[in-house]
Structure 1
Amino acid sequence: MGFFHKLFHRGEVDCNEVRKLSSDFLEEDLALPKRSAFQAHLDNCGPCRAFVDTLASTIGVLARIPKVAAPPTFHDSVMDRIKQEKK
């Protein structure tokens, strides 16, 4: 982002930033000024709103997938494979 863009668009969020900050936004990890600017952008940008909505839905689906424990020998098997690859 260029100097003049930063100078005249202080505090605003663009589409590139939406992609970069979407996880932080959904996890409520953005500070208030940035969060407000992010929300304002979503209110006016359909493609970004769709992106964030899709990301939120995907995270929700992944959260519902049951966790499966790895077999007891998994760790040793991976470590053996790493040692073989280094040779």
Structure 2
Amino acid sequence: MRLDKYLKVSRLIKRRTLAKEVCDKARVEINDRPAKASSNVKIGDKLAIRFGQKIVTVQVEDIKENPRKEEAASLYRVLGEVPVPRDEKEEDAYIKG
């Protein structure tokens, strides 16, 4: 399954277009490698997603095309959350400013 679609159906990111934008800005990694929206996601892959001031790491547990809302959380397992390192925050401020 495409990465942008997986992020949407698992409800990690609300909309597929937003998931594509996040991938295009190199804020998503699959197994410690930067990933494009068209990258394939497989069971067992580790995804690191940068959300604002934190990086959330999840492991892909299952892949379903159209899961119900209640099933979405079972598609992945959260491995951890870490704050964004200070130098990356400053870099974002420079880009935005």
Superposition TM-score tier, normalisation by shorter sequence: under 0.3
The structure richer in strand per residue is 2
Based on CA coordinates, which of the two structures has the bigger radius of gyration? Answer: 1
TM-score normalized by the length of structure 1: 0.24
